[in-house]
Structure 1
Amino acid sequence: MIISFASSKGGVGKSTTCACIAAELALTGSRVLLIDLDQNKTLARWARKAPIDGLTVLPIESKEFGEFFRKQSAAGNYDHICIDLPGTREATMFKVLARSDLVIIPAQASEPDLREALVVVSDIRDVREETQRPIPYRLLLTKVFPLRSRVTDFAYQEMERHGLPMFRTALVERSAYREMFLNGQPPTQGEAGKGAGAEVQALLAEIQAVIGGDADTLRIAS
């Protein structure tokens, strides 16, 4: 499967989520290619700290994406490809969206983040029309406060008002997500079966259900 992580706004946890999912896929026995298109190359630096068997992380310039992706797809060396898109809105994003089996749109529970998420959703719909290809997408709330707040309630209400599909799993603000970039250890190793580790495993299960067609219409959790 090809999963892309998209946001035209920085600081929403896009690269963190991409790294967590790619790492967990590899840890469960899959061959995974993570394409780092983000201009900061955060994931390329992360991968060098604690390499994971089965996970290949390659930083690629946006202008090289088309040819690189064709070669990797034709070679068939990987079970899954995860793509960390640039944190800006550019032409490469449309190329990635057109090739994705699922687009994950991370966003914090804030009005600016949700506004930017809607921009990405609009772009996905445009690509759908051009390619005549279904492109599933889901919003993912990140950096959520452990206790439900008025800000979180606002986010859920706005997504419901716009009819946006979202994951039931949300990523809570936890130190494990920050520490992984210091020690290279993904949350499912550092907090196996609990906290951030349990969140990542639950999110991956939802991803596999969406791509597998078992959960085409996930409802917003109350």
Structure 2
Amino acid sequence: MIVTFASSKGGVGKSTTCACIAAALALEGARVLLIDLDQNRTLDRWARKAPIENLTVAAIDPQKFGEFFREAEGSGRYDHICIDLPGSREVTLFKALARSDLVVIPAQASEPDLREALVVISDIRDVRETTSRPIPYRLLLTKVYPLRTRVADFAYAELARLGVPLFRTALVERSAYREMFLNGQPPTITETGKGAGAEVLSLLAEIRAIVEEHGTEELRKAG
């Protein structure tokens, strides 16, 4: 499956989430390519600290994305491809969206983050109309406080009002997500079966279910 992590705003946990999901897939034994298109090269630096078997991280110039992606996808070397997009709107965003089985849109429970998430959703809808290809997406709330706040209540209410599809899993503000960039170890290793590790596996299960459901629906339509 091809999963793209997109946000036009920095600091929402986009790269963190992408790394966690890619690592979780690789630790299960799948061959995973993580394409780091973010200008900060955060994931490229992270992967060098504690390389994970089956996980290949490639930092690519966004202008070379199309050619690199076509070669990687057609090579047969990978079971899954995770794409960490730049934290800005550019042509690479639309190229990646058009190739995705699912787009994950991380956002904090704040008005600025939700507004930027809606911008990405609008871009997805534009790509849908241009390519006539349905592209499933879900908003992922990140850096959530353990105790429910009025800001979180506002976020959930606003998303429900707008009809934005949302992951049931939310990523709580935990030290494991920050520490992984210091020691290179993803939460599925440092907090196996609990805390951040359990959250990542719960999110991965949702991602799989959405992609499988979408694929089944496409086959039904084609038949």
TM-score, normalization: structure 1? 0.96
Task: Please give the per-residue CA displacement for 1:91-118, whole angstroms capped at 9, x wherever unaligned.
Answer: 1100000000000000000000000000
CA 1:215 to 1:158, structure 2 compared with 1: closer, same or farther past 3 Å?
A: farther
1:35 aligns with 2:35: yes
Aligned counterparts of 1:35 and 1:55: Cα–Cα separation in 2:
11
In structure 2, give the amino acid aligned to 1:104.
Answer: V
Where 1:213 maps in the other structure, the secondary structure is: helix
Task: Please give the per-residue CA displacement for 1:133-181, whole angstroms capped at 9, x wherever unaligned.
Answer: 0100000000000000100000101100110001000000000000000
Aligned counterparts of 2:41 and 2:158: Cα–Cα separation in 1:
32
Instruction: Find the counterpart in structure 2 of residue 73 from structure 1.
Output: 73
For the 8 Å contact 2:7–2:106, the answer to whether it is kept is: yes
In the TM superposition, residue 66 of structure 1 has moved relative to its aligned partner by: 0.5
Query: After superposition, where does 1:103-182 map in structure 2 within 5 Å?
Result: 103-182=103-182
Instruction: Find the counterpart in structure 2 of residue 220 from structure 1.
Output: none
In percent, how many aligned pairs have the same letter? 76
Instruction: Find the counterpart in structure 2 of residue 199 from structure 1.
Output: 199
Unmatched tracts of structure 2, length 5 or more: 217-223
For the 8 Å contact 2:128–2:135, the answer to whether it is kept is: yes
Task: Please give the per-residue CA displacement for 1:80-99, whole angstroms capped at 9, x wherever unaligned.
Answer: 00000000000110000000
| Higher normalized helix content (fraction of residues) | 2
Note the aligned Cα RMSD (angstroms): 1.2
Where 2:94 maps in the other structure, the secondary structure is: helix
Task: Please give the per-residue CA displacement for 1:161-208, whole angstroms capped at 9, x wherever unaligned.
Answer: 110001000000000000000000000100000000000000000000
For the 8 Å contact 1:209–1:215, the answer to whether it is kept is: no
In structure 1, give the amino acid aligned to 2:128.
Answer: R
Instruction: Find the counterpart in structure 2 of residue 19 from structure 1.
Output: 19
TM-score, normalization: structure 2? 0.96
Unmatched tracts of structure 1, length 5 or more: 217-222
Aligned residues: 216
In the TM superposition, residue 76 of structure 1 has moved relative to its aligned partner by: 1.1
CA 1:215 to 1:174, structure 2 compared with 1: closer, same or farther past 3 Å?
A: farther
Misfit runs of 4+, over 2 Å:
none
Instruction: Find the counterpart in structure 2 of residue 5 from structure 1.
Output: 5
